[in-house]
Amino acid sequence: MKTWTANVLTLFPEAYPGILGMSVLGKALERRLWKLNLIDIKNFSKKNHKVDDIPFGGGTGMVIKPDVLDGALSSIKNKKFPIYYLTPRGTKFSQKIAEKMSKHDGATFLCGRYEGVDQRFIDHYKLIEISIGDYILSGGDLPTMVVLDSIIRLLPEVISNKNALDEESFKNHLLEYPLYTQPRSWKNLDVPEVLLSGNHKKIKDWKIKQSEDITKLRRPDLWKKYLKSK
Ligand SMILES: C[S@@+](CC[C@H](N)C(=O)[O-])C[C@H]1O[C@@H](n2cnc3c(N)ncnc32)[C@H](O)[C@@H]1O
């Protein structure tokens, strides 16, 4: 079986695997269904771990130097994977992109910090720029972990119940229906009767209808795609 490999260029290797080492993803890491190869960018600085410098043309903050990043990237043995730079300027990450990324054998991620990285490095290596949303975080490590989490759970054998993935939000452009478990009655709130009926056809129809209603209300953009696909 192939091991999906994540090369991560970071200033904070000690932050990994962090949450990625827990529960299902952690077990998958132990079972070698995926592998984490951490590259500490600081090790490729020529002077006292200094990786950044002031931006030409002025402006606030510091910029990570291209020569330091080049050393870090060149140290990776497995060079065939696509290289992603996590940045608010990138293409908005989505389940569809996660599915695509999970089909490769791995990926290389560059985690930015400070104001970002020198543009020449992005251009030279044709980095694929990805954003996890319209907000600014302090660095690219959390975004990389978000992207990795969504990819790894899609890898074969990571989640044993394949149906669990098929019924999740964004499959077929629908959000997930409401979920209920024991107890049947809680604070005078009852589980919908239909879910206790044992009638599989009725339950399936109820779930679809709930998914449709919630998607129509909350996500008109997805609703349009859903109607088109029907
Ligand atoms: C403080 S941010 C830099 C923001 C940048 N100066 C800008 O205005 O777009 C530092 C680093 O965090 C990461 N980052 C912050 N927000 C992100 C987001 N929404 N998606 C992906 N990466 C993000 C990037 O790697 C970025 O280089």
Annotated domain spans of the chain: 4-152, 167-229
pLDDT of residue 33: 97
Is there an atom of ligand 1 within 6 Å of 84 CB? no
Report the C-alpha gap between 181 and 226 in whole angstroms: 28
Q: From ligand 1's centre to the CA of 145, what distance in Å? A: 14
pLDDT of residue 100: 96
Measured CA distances, 86 to 144, 181, 199, 210 (Å):
7, 38, 46, 35
Q: What is the pLDDT of residue 213?
A: 98
Write the CATH number of the domain with boundaries 4-152.
Answer: 3.40.1280.10
pLDDT (tens digit, 9 = 90+) per residue, 51-60?
A: 999 999 999 9
Of 38, 44, 43, the residue nearest 148 (C-alpha): 38
Counting from 1 in the atom list of ligand 1, the atom nearest the Cα of 132 is 20
pLDDT, average across residues 192-213: 97
Q: Is 111 in the pocket of ligand 1 (CB under 6 A)?
A: yes
Domain 167-229 CATH superfamily: tRNA(m1g37)methyltransferase, domain 2 (1.10.1270.20)
Mean per-residue pLDDT for 102-110? 97
pLDDT of residue 224: 97
Ligand 1 centroid–CA 116 distance in Å is 7
